[in-house]
Amino acid sequence: MNESDLIARYFAPLAGPEGLGLTDDAAVLTPPPGCDLVVTADAMVAGTHFFAEDPPDAIAAKALGVNLSDLAAKAAEPLGYLLSLALPPDWTEAFLAEFSRGLGEAGRAAGIGLLGGDTVATSGPLTLSITALGAVPEGKMIRRSGARPGDLLYVSGTIGDAALGLALRRAEILRGAPPPWAGAHAAELIDRYLRPRPRLALTPALRAGASAAMDVSDGLIGDIRAMMRASGAAAEVDLELIPFSAPARAALAADPSLLDVTLTGGDDYEIVCAIPPDSAEKFEVLASAAQVAVTRIGVVAARESFRERDGTARHFARDRFSHV
């Protein structure tokens, strides 16, 4: 199968009208009137960002999902995406069929189509990069750098499920047996690792009052610190308030040493944001209307503090996942 046949069979059906059926060298996209264009890109490499043995549809969904999560944190509505795909020598048509199916399902869930991209061969591992485009009302993109002392810190959803799922997936592939703490929730945790849930529904709540926001991709502690560095501030966080799912709580009860994994492991794709106190009630109401759980976990301050239940400070030797 040559490149043209490959594109026509697996990717042209995913193209929206702006992608011109992937029959041209470029796409044509007109942002909504009065909106700025928001652009984000993420690359993923087999063996670094996912396992080569992961389901092809999940690999595709994750590749798009991590970009949609970035748009969600900027309070941007997705418009479309570009895909660059470097296929290793052992690729199969069965793999591409499942990959394109998963990509199409993720795109339709977000209401967007494929705009274009490139497909090449590589002697290395499977590598893919997605560039996602979104729109936000002019001048209203939410940056990392807007948090101010006194703002309240919130996080969406639950934290740590994907990091625990990654540990279980690694054990499943490399050792063939789950660790003792896995319990009955292993499949649920692994699914959180495989398939991010970008919080696009939180966009109206963020636009209503967030002074700063970013997606939690590399670990909650490290990403809070990154947002505070950009804002020239610090965070006081009550670790007891951080929301955990029932499966994560069960894992932590079985092995308390997993707390660092849940807080610094990454792959959550939740939103951490700073909300001025006078906007907090409206933010919570709009988040509830969007059926996205949000939890207040701390406050923006002059000095950093991560406190446990008894008030003692907790220190993290490693606060986030590093890609390099």
Residue 289 near residue 208 (C-beta atoms within 8 A): no
Running DSSP on this structure, what letter comes out for residue 143?
A: P
Distances (CA, A) of 49 to 42, 72, 270, 312: 11, 21, 17, 34
With tokens 């590399």, the residue in question is 218
CA–CA distances in Å: residue 255 to residues 4, 42, 111, 181, 184: 52, 33, 41, 6, 15
Q: Does 25 belong to an annotated binding site?
A: yes
Give the C-alpha separation, 304 to 188, whole Å.
34
Burial (CB count <10 Å: 0-12, 13-18, 19+), residue 152: buried
Query: Is 40 annotated among the ligand-binding residues?
Result: yes
Element at 287 (helix H, strand E): helix 280-289
Its sign, for the CA torsion 75, 76, 78, 83, is: negative
Whether residue 70 is annotated as binding a ligand: the answer is yes
Would you say 218 is a known binding-site residue?
yes
69 carries a ligand binding annotation = no
**Element containing residue 83 per DSSP (H, E):** strand 77-87
Q: Does 268 carry a binding-site annotation? A: no
Q: What is the CA radius of gyration of the chain?
A: 20
CB 151 within 8 A of CB 301: no
Tokens 């502690």 sit at which residue? 221
Neighbours of 299 (CB within 10 A): 18
42 marked as binding residue: yes
Concatenating the DSSP letter of every residue in 228-274 gives: HHHHT-EEEEEGGGS---HHHHHHHHH-GGGHHHHHHS----EEEEE
Rounded CA-CA distance 87/52 in Å is 12
- Residue positions forming the annotated binding site for ATP: 117-118, 144, 217
- Residue positions forming the annotated binding site for Mg(2+): 25, 40, 42, 70, 118, 215, 218
- Residue positions forming the annotated binding site for substrate: 49, 267, 321
- Residue positions forming the annotated binding site: 25, 40, 42, 49, 70, 117-118, 144, 215, 217-218, 267, 321
